[in-house]
């Protein structure tokens, strides 16, 4: 029964439209990153980049060539949009985007991760079988239908994103408006001093306004997918989605994510109605039946693979529950978890080194000038996250070894502030982090316990 549901034929008009929008968003993201200087800031100017742990070798890719790299990805987006050399284009883009994603964490953004996941899904989705250059040049490739699993897996992916985004908001500083108020105060100042709109500025800068938006944001994330799935609430839900995402785009400046999320909403609508609206002369009933389905065994295997993918996507946002400490404090398990726009985090960090003399006796600690290694943006963020602290410690150790100084000790004194709180000691400043291994699935013992004064959970 489940297999029949996944592999029944549906019209592929929605898929063709999504492919076009997806390709254009790739162009906007990649060429826009060049135009705005984002590539320069994150890949050209830095001497090193904070990769995902295990991918430090990717520092070798840093430099001006990254501009051409992003230019090439944008060009692949054009081919994806028109459906030309689609399989080649989407696979090459998936590899390039994944490498780019794994290459830096300084400007981490959840939509980069979602983009990566959907890109790899699109490598197995036959999005080029209709209304594409490929199907025009190779008529035998043309199909008017696709299998139902295509829209099912994309809907499930969106459900996971929004649901875990809602769950992550279940903490005090979200519902009391403290986090969002910090953002809205900037706009309040602009309204008051630049436009002399004192009344509106007072409203936007109030904690009440932030609390209302916080509650609405939580409800949107929690309810939008169920509301889109139910035909009676779909028209209201899509209007709310447009308002929500355009508001986020204007206020928070989060790139293409709002438009990407809106584009995926097309899969909630009846594919036949999309066909009747956009491709009026097409009928999916006219499709050939020579590819009615895969061999039963292959269907079963493919179904289990999809199931494993979904389970893995559910596990990743939950993994921080088996790591000691609150993820808001430790940051362990934060990435890949749809913890979007949840908290502000600043740090006051000093890094020290101690080197041995000829007799092996360690000398007095010396302060490391972060500007000698890091860009301004990197220096402002390195002390906020345990993995970046550990990586930087390893980099300093390796740098001293290149100079012929071995067994250098690296100490990090980092204090963090969450949602404009007081600064609290985040790392143990007396631990030589350079000599420690990274615990991939556990807790880093050199992270200090969460201060009792800092309330990051309703259970605190």
The arithmetic mean of pLDDT across residues 368-396, rounded, is 96
Whether pLDDT at 38 is above 80: yes
Tell me: do 351 and 338 sit in the same domain: no
* pLDDT at residue 51 tops 90: yes
b/e map of 97-107 (b: 16 or more CB within 10 Å)? bbebbebbbbe
Position 27 in a domain: yes
DSSP state, residue 250: H
Residue 284: pLDDT band with limits 50, 70, 90:
low
Examine residue 286 and state whether it is found in any structural domain, yes or no: no
Same domain membership, residue 320 and residue 221: yes
Q: Is residue 176 domain-shared with residue 89, that is, in the same domain?
A: no
- Chain centroid offset of residue 214 CA: 21
- Cα distance between residue 319 and residue 41, in whole Å: 32
Instruction: Tell me how crowded residue 315 is: count the other CB atoms within 10 A of its CB.
Output: 9
Residue 327 has pLDDT above 90, yes or no: yes
Q: Rounded to the nearest 10 degrees, what angle do helices 257-264 and 110-124 cross at?
A: 40
175 occurs within a structural domain = yes
Q: Is the pLDDT of residue 454 over 70?
A: yes
Residues 372 and 436 in one domain: yes
116 and 195 housed in the same domain? no
* 268 falls within a domain: no
Do 1 and 141 reside in the same domain of the chain? yes
Would you give the end-to-end CA distance of the chain in angstroms? Answer: 46
Point out the domain boundary residue: 109, 130, 147.
147
Total tally of structural domains belonging to the chain: 3
How many other C-beta atoms are found inside a 10 Å radius of the C-beta of residue 434? 22
**Residue 198 sits in the same domain as residue 339:** yes
Per-residue confidence band for 263, with pLDDT thresholds at 50, 70 and 90: very high
**Mean pLDDT over residues 186-203, rounded?**
92
Residue 30 CA to residue 24 CA, distance in Å, equals 10
Whether residues 40 and 71 fall in one domain = yes
Residue 131: domain span = 1-147
DSSP assignments along 76-105, one per residue: HHHHHHHTSSHHHHHHHHHHHHHHHHHH--
- Segment 397-414 mean pLDDT: 95
Q: Examine the domain organization and report whether 350 and 336 are in the same domain.
A: no
Dig out the tokens for 414 from the structure.
């980092």
- Residues in contact with 243: Cβ distance below 8 Å, sequence separation at least 6, in sequence order: none
Backbone phi and psi for residue 349, each to the nearest 5 degrees, phi listed first: -125, 135
Question: Of 343, 363, 379, which residue is a domain's last?
Answer: 343
Mean pLDDT of 22-28: 98
Task: Return the pLDDT at 294.
Answer: 54
Q: Are 330 and 447 in contact (CB under 8 A)?
A: yes
Phi, psi (rounded to 5 degrees) for 113: -70, -45
Name, in order, each residue with C-beta under 8 angstroms of 11's C-beta and a sequence gap of 6 or more: 144, 145, 271, 272, 274, 275, 282, 284
pLDDT surpasses 60 at 291: no
- Alpha-carbon distance of 174 to 331, in angstroms, equals 17
Q: How far apart are CA 332 and CA 319, in angstroms?
A: 9
Residues 172 and 245 in one domain: yes
pLDDT score recorded for residue 10: 94
Q: Which of 20-34, 274-288, 408-422 has the lowest mean pLDDT?
A: 274-288
In a domain, 455, yes or no: yes
Whether residues 298 and 400 share a domain: the answer is no
CB of 144 closer than 8 Å to CB of 287: yes
What's the confidence (pLDDT) of residue 288? 59
The predicted model gives 76-99 an average pLDDT of 98
- Is 395 within a domain? yes
pLDDT surpassing 70 at residue 398: yes
> What pLDDT score does 7 carry?
93
Compute the distance between CA of residue 128 and CA of residue 119 in angstroms, rounded to an integer. 14
Tens digits of per-residue pLDDT, 108-138?
888 999 999 999 999 999 999 999 999 999 9
Within this chain, do residues 103 and 224 fall inside the same structural domain, yes or no?
Answer: no
> Is 140 within a domain?
yes
Quick one: pLDDT band at residue 292, thresholds 50, 70, 90?
Answer: low
Going by pLDDT thresholds of 50, 70 and 90, the confidence category of residue 213 is: very high
Q: Where among 147, 176, 198 does a domain terminate?
A: 147
In a domain, 23, yes or no: yes
């Amino acid at each position: 029964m489940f297999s029949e549901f996944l592999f029944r034929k549906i019209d592929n008009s929605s898929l063709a439209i999504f492919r076009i929008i997806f390709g254009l968003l790739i162009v906007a993201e990649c060429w826009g990153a060049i135009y705005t200087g984002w590539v320069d800031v994150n890949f050209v100017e830095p001497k090193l980049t904070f990769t995902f742990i295990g991918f430090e070798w990717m520092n070798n890719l840093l430099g001006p060539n990254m501009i051409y790299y992003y230019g090439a990805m944008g060009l692949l987006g054009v081919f994806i949009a028109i459906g030309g050399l689609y399989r080649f284009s989407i696979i090459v883009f998936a590899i390039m985007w994944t490498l780019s994603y794994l290459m830096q964490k300084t400007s981490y953004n959840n939509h980069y991760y979602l983009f990566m996941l959907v890109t790899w899904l699109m490598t197995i989705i036959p999005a080029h079988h209709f209304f594409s250059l490929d199907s025009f040049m190779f008529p035998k490739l043309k199909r008017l239908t696709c299998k139902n699993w295509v829209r099912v897996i994309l809907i499930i992916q969106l459900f996971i994103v929004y649901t875990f985004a809602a769950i992550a908001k279940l903490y005090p500083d979200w519902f009391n408006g403290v986090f969002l108020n910090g953002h809205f105060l900037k706009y309040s100042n602009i309204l008051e001093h630049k436009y002399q709109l004192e009344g509106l500025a007072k409203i936007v800068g109030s904690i009440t306004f932030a609390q209302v938006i916080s509650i609405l944001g939580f409800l949107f994330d929690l309810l939008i997918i169920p509301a889109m799935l139910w035909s009676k609430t779909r028209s209201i839900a899509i209007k709310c989605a447009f308002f929500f995402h355009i508001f986020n785009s204007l206020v928070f400046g989060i790139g293409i994510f709002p438009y990407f999320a809106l584009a995926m909403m097309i899969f909630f609508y009846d594919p036949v109605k999309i066909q009747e609206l956009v491709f009026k002369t097409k009928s999916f009933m006219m499709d050939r039946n020579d590819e009615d389905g895969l061999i039963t065994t292959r269907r079963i295997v493919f179904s289990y693979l999809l199931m494993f993918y979904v389970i893995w996507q559910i596990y990743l946002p939950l993994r921080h529950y088996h790591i000691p400490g609150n993820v808001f404090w430790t940051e362990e398990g934060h990435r890949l978890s749809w913890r979007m726009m949840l908290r502000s985090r600043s740090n006051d960090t000093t890094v020290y080194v101690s080197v041995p003399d000829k007799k092996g006796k360690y000398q007095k600690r010396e302060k490391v000038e972060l500007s000698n290694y890091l860009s301004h943006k990197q220096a402002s963020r390195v002390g906020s996250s345990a993995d970046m602290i550990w990586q930087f410690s390893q980099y300093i150790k390796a740098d001293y070894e290149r100079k012929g100084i071995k067994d250098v000790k690296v100490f990090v004194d980092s204090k963090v502030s969450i949602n404009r709180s007081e600064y609290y000691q985040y790392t143990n400043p007396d631990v030589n982090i350079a000599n420690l291994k990274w615990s991939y699935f556990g807790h880093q013992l050199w992270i200090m316990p969460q201060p009792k004064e800092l309330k990051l959970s309703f259970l605190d």
